[in-house]
Amino acid sequence: MATSRNWNDQDEDVLLTILEEMYSSTYDMMNTSGFGWDDQKKCVVVDSDNVLQLWVKKYPNASYKPNKPFPLYPRLCTVFGRDRATCSMVESAAEAIENMGLEIEDGDETFEMPPTSPTSSPSIGTSSAS
């Protein structure tokens, strides 16, 4: 039986940062000629040692290396896929959450949070056969 874990905000920030860094490294590889995805092994594969050596020179601090299973990558494409930035204004998910909180605190506007419980939605008309 699996045990549950109670996450605090710092744990969540660290986990998000690690996953985002791993996704980013994997994404960069997948968009470089000579790299591909092995769906059976759930990892990035590389065509040759030369391609890998050039990539490691370009990205020496990459958090993901080829041939290491990363089964979460396809799911993380959905989470982080459209949120890639490549210029000086890049921020991690944890930084974005923190900055949103700072913007709300610094602003003159008051924001109301939506209710946490689901609200009833209008029912969709259905017909029943008699």
Ramachandran region, residue 34 (left: φ > 0; alpha: ψ -120 to 50; beta: rest): left
Q: Where are the domains positioned within the chain?
A: 9-102
Eight-class DSSP state of 106: H
Other beta carbons within 10 angstroms of residue 96's beta carbon come to 12
Average pLDDT, the chain: 75
- What the block records as the tokens of 3 is 């045990």
Residue 126: pLDDT over 70: no
pLDDT of 118 reads 40
Q: What gap in Å lies between CA 103 and CA 118, rounded to an integer?
A: 27
Classified as helix, coil or strand, 46 is strand
The pTM of this model reads 0.57
User: Which among 80, 75, 97 has a CA at the least distance from the CA of 24?
Assistant: 80
Radius of gyration for the chain, computed over Cα atoms and rounded to the nearest angstrom: 21
The pLDDT tens digits of the residues spanning 73-97 come to 989 888 887 655 554 455 666 666 7
The pLDDT tens digits of the residues spanning 91-121 come to 666 666 776 666 555 555 554 444 443 444 4
